[in-house]
Amino acid sequence: MRSEGILGSGGDSDQNRAKSVADESRRRWLKRRETWLVLLGVALHAVYMLSIFDIYFKTPIVHGMDPVPPRFSQPPANRLILLISDGLRADKFYEPDADGSYRAPFLRNIIKNQGRWGVSHARPPTESRPGHVAIIAGFYEDPSAVTKGWKANPVEFDSVFNQSRHTFAYGSPDIIPIFCSALPHSTWHSYPHEYEDFATDASFLDEWSFDQFESLLNRSHHDPDLKALLHQDKLVFFLHLLGCDSNGHAHRPFSSIYLNNVKVVDKIAERVYHLLEDYYRDNRTSYIFTADHGMSDKGSHGDGHPTNTDTPLVAWGAGIKYPRPATGRSHSDSVTSFVDKHAHDMPTPYDWGLNRVERVDVNQADIAPLMSTLLGLPGPVNSVGNLPLGYMKLNEAEEVEAVLANTKQILNQLLRKSHIKMSNSLFFKPFKPLVDHSSLLSQIDELISAKSYEAAMKLAVDLRNLSLEGVQYFQTYDWLMLMTVITLGYTGWMIVLALHVLQCYSSLSGDLSRKGNLSVQKKDSRKVYLSGCLLMAIITVLNLVEHSPPLYHAYIGMTVFLWTQILSEYRLIRGLWIYLRERKAGYFIKLLFAAAVSIVIVELLVHSFTERKLYTWFFLIAGFVSSILLHISIPWRSGIPVFVCISCWFLSVFTLMPAEIPDNNNLVVISGAIIIVISLAAKWLDTHAEGNKFWQSITFHESRKPMWSKLYFIQIVLVGVSSVMVSLSTEHRTQNQELHSSHQFINWLVAGSSMVLPLFSGNGILSRLSSIFLGFAPPFLLLSIGYEAVFYSALAVVLMAWILFENASHYSSKAKDSSLSEQNTEEHVTIGSEERYLQLSDVRIPLIFMVLFNVAFFGTGNFASIASFEISSVYRFITIFSPFLMAALLIFKLFIPFMLVICAFSAITKLVRVPRLGCYFLVILFSDIMTIHFFFLVKNTGSWMEIGNSISHFGIVSAQVVFVLLLFALTNLYTRTIRVKPLSTSPSLKTL
């Protein structure tokens, strides 16, 4: 018994006052520490997000190499005509029409009698600019073009046009200026953008290009200077034929308009050929016909599907071999692997009618060295193409010289990159296979002098292949270092978070203190910080000596700082190790089970970014498992397990639906009725279940005010009004092609006022959450066009199921805890009067939150989907184009489900009395496991969509440290006044 005397009560007062001061001091320290942690997290994620551009998106283009012309006595051709039919598929070019006649009779005759043919394999992204750059400059898409929004090459580059004496080019305004706008020795012209009209037959654009070319030759008869220029050597004529691409987009590649455009292109090739042959009459002209990319059956392109990567290639004229009978060997004699990574060496389709003519396939970038060699020009200095000898009519000595020039051009890139890296590196690691490259070149020259052409050719080809490997080696030279630093940084950040949660939100810190394992000495911590500063200083000096980019300092500095912070907590880590060694086997089984479940859920979330259907399986399983657990934990017959199961299964349907949401206003109106029914059910439960011990935690009210019922009624009316306005606004806009001003005013008024009303609702969990659900329903309904309106209700019902599950767990834990001794009880309730320490089982709360948060993101699409930016969603608020307001409304619509999830999460943390910030840090910890995963999944090859999606996935999870915190702050306006039944009011709540 406590003493009731003056001394006794005074002692208690002093103890309480001291405890109060200690608690206040701890709260201030915790607030400062967590503010610092959040700021550190924001800075870390901002800096590390930039790392992908230093790793994956550095330009491969370097300058300063000397051009290498082939050592020919005379080049095979004086001039070259390049015809590129934009968007022409190989199969549509080679196959016959339905009546059996071929669409390109002139070029087929060339293939069979005068030239060579094959398939040119493009590398994704199969878009016009990268395709033309590959053909004319010899390299594939510069990954740093992402910084220009894929609109332009960010670094100047060399091309066949640059090396030519003069280039004449005609065609699209999107292509011709890329190569000729800054080229002084060029004559070019492009049609206006207005000509590119998808509503017309675009084959007239091809005719326009030919007319310009024909006009050039005709003008030369009256212009001596032009005629003299046209009769010089090393000339390039380029005709860009856009018709197939425009007609393919507008009408699809199997349409009669597209297929007829193939005939137009063939006819233009014939007219160009006869025009030049009649003009020059010297048989010194080379002709190359190809395409930049194909076209999918849907009329799109960009990815790596064979319909997009396989393009025709026909070459004839000066320096080109004549056709040869087909043999059983490979389609290519110069390419070791094709860049589109499809199965090759498949038999030529029978319906092409070319099985008996030898076919030589190439990579798209191989066309650039082919054109350069035909004209006797140095290859583009940044080219990575292999010269396709299967097309060239050269003697044995010339073949070796041509391949050697191609090899030296690629080797020069390697040497330049090696020199740049070596001049800035203290610990340079050369590309070992080519350390002695000069002796290999000398050996090749000796073999050529000795006329051992076969051996020289083999050595030159091997050297070329090694040079290509070396170019890639230096392109990824810093990858290992940067990836290691970034991975260590993220890992260190997660360890810092874990230590913070263990120290501040678990009973571990108290256990270790009582056992004397946390006797921290500031002198030891100072030594750790001093060592960290010294290490950072050394690394900074090394980076400065190596002229490393500024961000390299930031990456390494952040990582060193984090691990210094971890090592400064070495006594806590040592105490944790001692604590774990004293645990029994059962504890480790629980720990491993929790870790395994966490990893499975995090991996599910990672893969759900590309496969939404995974959520369907998750909720089917979750509904079944949770209903069984509830059936066990609830000691009486109840419909709650069935409700939880059905709600999970209902939500599972939505991730099977298409991201492109079809218009269905009737479904939106019905959704309003569903929302009202759900709200009335929640209101009835809130009113009639308060006396039940099971429900008292979520239906508790400190007092009941009459205005709350009136407020609830007003909210239901506003939902009904918004449902009616969905129908009226859409009907009037459809009939009159405008939004009625009164409808617009009502919609804005209803949406705005409804979101304010929850602030004045009852402060019980069920009452407040129901009001929030009703408050955000009108704006969401007015911004909905189809099934996503039903998703809103389905998500809310699952959130209610989550609350019921946690309430059941909370209720059963009270029954168990009432049998514990007072000594054990004190170990559980230690953070103030309203919160308890986190336990291992509480990991489920942040994990479930992350699943539901992502379902809110992907349930009806995502930020990258068509559905998310369906512009008709905002037509009930605004129809006049206003990009910022429309974007704000669309983003707000996407945020509403997030708000519901976070409000439910905040309510649950109050219900089960766990610290919300502790759970927030666990959410960030699990999110960063996903971040590391997505960091290694970033792509710098493939279609622009694939590359962009990989970047956006990494960016989305990286931004969650800020995004979730901002939403917490916003939803705190609605949830901060929520009250649960105090511990002191019920004996059964004495322990948790």
Helices then strands (H, E): number in the chain?
Answer: 35, 8
364 neighbors 339 (Cβ within 8 angstroms) = yes
Mean pLDDT of 802-806: 91
3-state secondary structure of 878: coil
- Rounded CA-CA distance 18/12 in Å is 10
656 neighbors 671 (Cβ within 8 angstroms) = no
CA atoms within 13 A on the CB side of 512: 22
What pLDDT shows up at residue 335? 61
pLDDT in tens, 687-707: 877 666 677 777 776 666 667
Which of 184-188, 193-197, 665-669, 916-920 has the highest average model confidence (pLDDT)? Answer: 184-188
The helix (H) or strand (E) run that includes residue 486 is: helix 479-505
Cα dihedral 534→537→539→542 (10° resolution):
-130
Distance of CA 453 to the CA centre of its chain: 49
> Which pairing describes strands 116-121 and 362-363: parallel, antiparallel, or unpaired?
parallel
The tokens describing 890, both together, are 């669309």
3-state secondary structure of 200: coil
Handedness of CA 300, 302, 308, 314 (dihedral sign): positive
**Biggest distance spanned by C-alpha atoms of the chain:** 125
Share of the chain above pLDDT 70, in %: 88
> Closest Cα to residue 320, out of 69, 111, 71, 106?
111
- Rounded CA-CA distance 20/233 in Å is 93
Regarding predicted confidence, which is higher, 471 or 572?
471
pLDDT in tens, 336-388: 677 766 666 678 899 999 999 999 999 999 999 999 999 999 999 999 999 99
> Closest Cα to residue 900, out of 952, 938, 849?
849
In angstroms, what CA-CA distances link 50 with 491, 588, 935? 17, 39, 11
What pLDDT shows up at residue 726? 85
pLDDT in tens, 598-654: 999 999 999 988 888 899 999 999 999 999 988 887 766 678 899 999 999 999 998
Mean pLDDT of 466-494: 95
Mean pLDDT of 568-578: 84
Per-residue pLDDT at 284 exceeds 70: yes
The helix (H) or strand (E) run that includes residue 812 is: helix 788-817
Q: How confident is the model at residue 656 (pLDDT cuts 50, 70, 90)?
A: confident
pLDDT in tens, 502-533: 888 887 766 666 655 555 455 567 888 888 89
DSSP 121: E
Q: For all residues of the chain together, what is the average pLDDT? A: 86
> Closest Cα to residue 309, out of 173, 472, 172, 140?
140
- Rounded CA-CA distance 236/370 in Å is 13
> Which pairing describes strands 186-190 and 79-85: parallel, antiparallel, or unpaired?
unpaired
CA atoms within 13 A on the CB side of 225: 0
What pLDDT shows up at residue 226? 96
Question: Rounded to the nearest 10 degrees, what angle do helices 706-736 and 665-688 cross at?
Answer: 180
The helix (H) or strand (E) run that includes residue 629 is: helix 614-633
- Rounded CA-CA distance 605/856 in Å is 12
What residue type is 456 in one-letter code? A
Per-residue pLDDT at 832 exceeds 70: no
pLDDT in tens, 389-436: 999 999 999 999 999 999 999 999 999 999 999 988 888 999 999 999
Q: How confident is the model at residue 865 (pLDDT cuts 50, 70, 90)?
A: very low
854 neighbors 863 (Cβ within 8 angstroms) = no
- Rounded CA-CA distance 584/647 in Å is 39
Per-residue pLDDT at 325 exceeds 50: yes
What pLDDT shows up at residue 824? 45
- Rounded CA-CA distance 821/816 in Å is 11
3-state secondary structure of 965: helix
Distance of CA 803 to the CA centre of its chain: 33
> Closest Cα to residue 760, out of 741, 744, 775?
775
Question: Rounded to the nearest 10 degrees, what angle do helices 960-975 and 916-937 cross at?
Answer: 150
DSSP 632-664: HHSSS--SHHHHHHHHHHHHHTGGGS-SSPPP-
CA atoms within 13 A on the CB side of 193: 2
In angstroms, what CA-CA distances link 308 with 123, 142, 694? 9, 19, 62
Q: How confident is the model at residue 3 (pLDDT cuts 50, 70, 90)?
A: very low
Burial, 385: exposed, middle or buried (Cβ in 10 Å; 0-12, 13-18, 19+)? Answer: buried
Sheet (strand 116-121) strand order:
186-190, 166-171, 235-241, 79-85, 285-290, 310-317, 116-121, 362-363
3-state secondary structure of 677: helix
910 neighbors 836 (Cβ within 8 angstroms) = no
> Closest Cα to residue 474, out of 554, 362, 384, 380?
384
3-state secondary structure of 116: strand
> What Rg, from alpha-carbon coordinates, does the chain have?
36
The tokens describing 309, both together, are 């990567």
Per-residue pLDDT at 10 exceeds 50: no
> Closest Cα to residue 893, out of 875, 873, 910, 912?
873
Mean pLDDT of 586-591: 88
590 Cβ contact list (under 8 Å, min separation 6): 840
Per-residue pLDDT at 218 exceeds 70: yes
- φ/ψ region of 699 (left if φ > 0, alpha if ψ in -120 to 50, else beta) reads alpha
What pLDDT shows up at residue 373? 97
205 neighbors 246 (Cβ within 8 angstroms) = yes
- Rounded CA-CA distance 391/359 in Å is 10
What residue type is 821 in one-letter code? S
- Rounded CA-CA distance 373/115 in Å is 17
Regarding predicted confidence, which is higher, 986 or 707?
707
The tokens describing 408, both together, are 């030296």
685 neighbors 691 (Cβ within 8 angstroms) = no
Per-residue pLDDT at 899 exceeds 80: yes
Alpha helices in 56-127 (DSSP H): 90-94, 105-113
